[in-house]
Structure 1
Amino acid sequence: MRETAGIRPQSKSWRWGTALAAAMVTLGVTPWVQAQDSRISALQAQAQSAVTAMTEAQQTFYLRNRYFANYFGPLQSLKRFPTPPEYTYAIRTTTRGAYHYAIPQSRTLKAFVSAVFLTGKQTNQGRPEMVTIICKARVAGAIRPADPNYKPEDSNYQRPSSVGCGNGTLDVNAPLEPPAPSFPAPTDGTTPLPPP
């Protein structure tokens, strides 16, 4: 192969790789990938629905019994929810809250965790006040996600109470994160520094 006008010739393996990629798109690999993506999205939606239903049932269970349920039977008697077999489900309770996990059995799915926390306050009806949150792992993987956290109000420091997702997870009900700011490229040929 000869080089012309400063263009490097491609190797045979590069040309075969390009031809193979073009053939895969032409023969329908793209629809297969799209079908896999929609299957993953559907399974994740089912897992999210399951932890959402567990959270709602847990609140009702606590109001009726004054303690949190630590297994599925009582929760499913209050609210039926599917548990897709592609996930393992778990509940962990404390005296101040309950956590519900949907942990994928595949590394292609994302995990979910929800929590119900007692705030220590009463509602106008005299019921215990509770806050909830549902979090999704930022990356796919067959691992238990970090627990959400609740920080009670601190009147000494005039800090309101807050609930948030743990490390590596994000609130499924939060607005989408804004895109990272883009900075114009310098015109003097230097490399821009990353933002502080």
Structure 2
Amino acid sequence: MRKPNRHFSLAFLVSSLALLATGNLTLSQTGNSIAQDQNAALQAVAKMTEGQRTYYQNNGNFRAKVDNVQDDFGVTLPKTFDYAIRTTSEAAYSYVIPARSTVSNQLKAYVGAAFITPNQDPKITTIICQNTNPGQTRPADP
């Protein structure tokens, strides 16, 4: 039986984690505004996700409002995307979805998650996923 399509690619996840580990999140400067917007969205979801991990480690809970995460961690939110956060007692999900515009059908959405893994080290795991198709579809939770 096939697993359901979760709308994100494992290859992107692995490359994103490698980029996060090295701190090198910039795409080459091609002048392509779509690529620049996509890169800015990736940087935003990466900072939001890392901010949630840090906040939980320091406070024992997750931030539930985009404005709080933006202010607390200096996250720049590109205007070409919409943002939302959903929290539970065990996880925080940060959604970065193309805003309605003439280019929204060319941009891909992201979801970042910070979740508690009580029997593992580190105690909080983070992941970033990108939709495989462009558009305004919210990514499935990882």
> Is TM > 0.5 for Structure 1 vs Structure 2?
yes
Partner residue in 2 for 1:94:
88
Unaligned runs of 5+ in 2: 1-29
Q: Distance in 2 between matches of 1:101 and 1:115?
A: 9
In the TM superposition, what whole-angstrom CA distance separates every residue of 1:65-120 from its partner, at most 9, and x where no partner exists? 11111002332333111111110000001111110010002111100111001001
Identity of aligned residues (%): 42
Letter in 2 for 1:100: S
Which one has more relative contact order, counting CA pairs under 8 Å at least 6 apart? Answer: 2
Give the number of aligned pairs: 109
1:54 is aligned to 2:48? yes
Partner residue in 1 for 2:77:
83
Q: Distance in 1 between matches of 2:68 and 2:95?
A: 16
Q: Which has the higher helix share?
A: 2
Q: Contact 1:61–1:75 at 8 Å: present in 2 too?
A: no
Letter in 2 for 1:108: Q
Partner residue in 1 for 2:3:
none
Runs of 4+ residues over 4 Å off in structure 1: none
Q: Distance in 2 between matches of 1:103 and 1:147?
A: 13
- SS of the residue corresponding to residue 131 of structure 1 reads strand
Letter in 2 for 1:97: A
Q: Contact 2:92–2:115 at 8 Å: present in 1 too?
A: yes
Q: Contact 2:53–2:126 at 8 Å: present in 1 too?
A: no
Deviation of the 1:122 alpha carbon: 6.7
Q: Distance in 2 between matches of 1:82 and 1:130?
A: 24
Unaligned runs of 5+ in 1: 1-33, 149-196
- SS of the residue corresponding to residue 106 of structure 2 reads coil
Partner residue in 2 for 1:165:
none
